[in-house]
């Protein structure tokens, strides 16, 4: 480790770090294309967050560039090679069940709470101050350092792709958007929308499903699900529902909505779609309950597909897509978006799959149909899947970052492969590096998201040292 006391430099700047972080956290930077404008194609929030970050960079004497209000760059140094740092300023929707306002940061018990603290505004500010410390100390750097910000990492990556189309690509780099000691491998990511077809033979029952809805994004396990049924006996349905809730890890309510309709609501636990087993998928439990009741028609077919093929199927076994790779491990599957509307004849579920090398999106798409039955469902690949990504543990980038981690923590570094997707995969020699420590509770995408202040300070010191070493 170099002779610079990186932690002391961070300590001097703690108040400034918190002030800038709070500025970002107060911006509701969810992707919002419903309110897009020609100059803000991802909505006002992401553009505002980008402007705020670039304003901070200009204040501190960096060169900045805004790319179409969807991405931006803070630059420092000179040289033939470009070291890239990749952060993102958008956040997933806050959702329900917060103890505080998700966009009014609260510091309590050594933690800062708000949407985006852990993913990714806290780590992004830590890396920014790492760069700022290198600049303010006047340390020699022999490479260009481009700190690149995207504004829709949680959805379609429009911003970062636009940046890569129009700006010079870094030669190597890291994203402060995962965990320590390093993430040098990321599974592929693909979304599949399964449409349940009308049953070919009539399905009779005592009542019908009018609607079923759950999920906010394809990368979030839904923590709440709601269904409207008609024709059911309220007392009888309530009795069955109470019995179901007593034996399953979810809460729920039934309310009357008039017109002989009842609304069922189930509450589970949100989690990141790359770790679906850490959540409690409210939608699959609601579907399991409805599947045990005398439903009629397409609604019956819809909940049966969910109950039979998607409920608690974290590795895709029930869907017929399970796959294991010795390096990257097991595939994961998370059913995250649910939409059934009898009036509009919609019956869909979108499944988010994180897959290791050795299989493909097209293969899995066919396997889903073959498993459930072409007479029961269709399946469609959504958007542009991300293929698996891996940077060798022998690469100097990986070796340097692991050494920095060890020097600051005293813990041995080791390579890791995850199901999450980060901007680290945007270039061939890109990895994710921090900021979550190995023993820290993972609260990304969850209600009451937070970042421990001690982790924020440590990450900033690690990033400063890492940037300095990599820029030599």
List pLDDT tens digits, range 62-101.
999 999 999 999 999 999 999 999 999 999 999 888 999 9
Check whether 420 has a pLDDT greater than 90: no
Q: What is the CATH number of the domain that holds 20?
A: 3.40.630.10
Active site residues: 90, 153
Mention every residue, 6+ apart, whose C-beta is less than 8 A from residue 142: 77, 79, 471, 472
> Domain ends where: 337, 353, 386?
386
Query: How far is CA 306 from its chain centroid?
Result: 23
Residue 384 confidence class, pLDDT cut points 50, 70, 90: confident
- The pLDDT tens digits of the residues spanning 186-207 come to 999 999 999 999 998 888 888 9
Q: What DSSP designation does 35 have?
A: G
Count up the domains in the chain and report the number: 2
Give whole-number Cα distances, 167 to 65, 159, 176, 271, 421, in Å: 10, 12, 20, 34, 22
Based on the domain organization, do 213 and 173 belong to the same domain? no
Whether residues 262 and 329 share a domain: the answer is: yes
Q: Sorting pLDDT into bands at 50, 70 and 90, what band is 432?
A: very high
Tell me, yes or no, whether 157 and 94 share the same domain. Answer: yes
Q: Enter the DSSP assignment of 170.
A: P
What is the C-alpha separation between 65 and 88, in angstroms, rounded?
Answer: 15
**High-pLDDT (> 70) share of the chain, %:** 99
Q: Can you give the CATH number for the domain in which 294 is found?
A: 3.30.70.360
Same domain, 419 and 340: no
Same domain, residue pair 128 and 11? yes
1 domain residue, yes or no: no
223/331 same-domain check: yes
My answer on whether 228 and 323 are in the same domain is: yes
Under the banding of pLDDT at 50, 70 and 90, the label for residue 334 is very high
206 assigned to some structural domain: yes
Query: Is 370 found in the same domain as 462?
Result: no
For residue 32, being part of any structural domain is answered with yes
Last residue of a domain, one of 354, 386, 418: 386
Where among 386, 408, 443 does a domain terminate? 386
Cβ count within 10 A of residue 57: 23
Same domain (yes/no): 363, 231: yes
pLDDT (0 to 100) of residue 1:
42
For residue 58, is it within any domain? yes
Same domain, 269 and 400: no
418, 188 in Cβ contact below 8 A? no
Please, which contacts does 9-15 make with residues 24 or more away whose CB atoms are closer than 8 Å?
Answer: 9/133, 9/137, 9/461, 9/464, 10/129, 10/133, 10/457, 10/460, 10/461, 10/464, 11/457, 13/129, 13/132, 13/133, 13/460, 14/457
Assigned domain for 225 exists: yes
Q: Are residues 296 and 344 in the same domain?
A: yes
What does the DSSP assignment read for 195-228? EEPPPSS----SEEEEEEEE-S-TTEE-SEEEEE
Bond before 181 cis per omega within 30 degrees: yes
197 in a domain, yes or no? yes
Structural domain range at position 336: 189-386
308 shares a domain with 237 = yes
């Amino acid at each position: 480790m170099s002779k610079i006391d990186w932690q002391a430099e961070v300590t001097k700047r703690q108040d400034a770090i918190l002030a800038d972080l709070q500025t970002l956290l107060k911006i509701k930077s969810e992707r919002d294309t419903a309110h897009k404008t020609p100059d803000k194609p991802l909505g006002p929030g992401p553009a505002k967050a980008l402007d705020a970050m670039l304003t901070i960079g200009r204040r501190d004497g960096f060169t900045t560039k805004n790319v179409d209000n969807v991405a931006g760059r803070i630059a420092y140094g000179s040289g033939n090679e470009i070291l890239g740092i990749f952060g993102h300023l958008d956040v997933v929707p806050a959702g329900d069940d917060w103890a505080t306002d998700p966009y009014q940061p609260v510091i309590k018990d050594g933690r800062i709470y708000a949407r985006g603290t852990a993913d990714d505004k806290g780590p992004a500010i830590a890396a920014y101050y790492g760069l700022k410390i290198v600049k303010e100390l006047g340390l020699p750097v022999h490479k260009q350092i481009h700190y690149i910000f995207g504004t829709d990492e949680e959805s379609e990556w429009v911003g970062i792709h636009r940046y890569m189309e129009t700006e010079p690509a870094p030669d190597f780099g890291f994203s402060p958007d995962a965990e320590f000691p390093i993430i040098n491998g990321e599974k592929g990511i693909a979304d599949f929308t399964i449409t349940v077809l009308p049953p070919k033979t009539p399905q009779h029952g005592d009542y019908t499903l009018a609607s079923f809805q759950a999920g906010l994004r394809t990368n979030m396990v839904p923590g709440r699900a709601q269904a409207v049924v008609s024709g059911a006996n309220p007392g009888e349905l309530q009795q069955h529902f109470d019995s179901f809730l007593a034996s399953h890890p979810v809460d729920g309510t039934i309310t009357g909505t008039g017109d002989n309709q009842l609304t069922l609501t189930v509450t589970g636990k949100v989690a990141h779609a790359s770790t679906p087993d850490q959540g409690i998928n409210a939608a699959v439990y609601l579907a399991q309950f409805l599947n045990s009741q005398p439903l009629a028609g397409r609604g019956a077919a819809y909940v049966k597909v969910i109950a039979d093929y998607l409920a608690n199927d974290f590795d895709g076994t029930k869907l017929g897509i399970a796959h294991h790779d010795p390096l990257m491990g097991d595939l994961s599957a998370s059913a995250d978006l649910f939409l059934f509307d009898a009036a509009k004849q919609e019956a869909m579920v979108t499944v988010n799959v994180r897959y290791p090398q050795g299989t493909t999106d097209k293969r899995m798409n066919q396997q889903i149909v073959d498993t459930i039955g072409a007479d029961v469902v269709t399946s469609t690949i959504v958007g542009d899947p991300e293929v698996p990504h891996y940077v060798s543990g022998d690469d100097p980038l990986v070796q340097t970052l692991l050494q920095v981690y060890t020097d600051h923590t005293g813990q041995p570094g080791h390579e890791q492969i995850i199901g999450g997707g980060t901007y680290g995969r945007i270039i061939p020699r890109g990895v994710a590096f921090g900021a979550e420590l190995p023993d820290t509770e993972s609260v990304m995408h969850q209600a009451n998201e937070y970042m421990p202040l001690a982790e924020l300070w440590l990450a900033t010191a690690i990033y400063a040292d890492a940037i300095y070493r990599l820029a030599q």
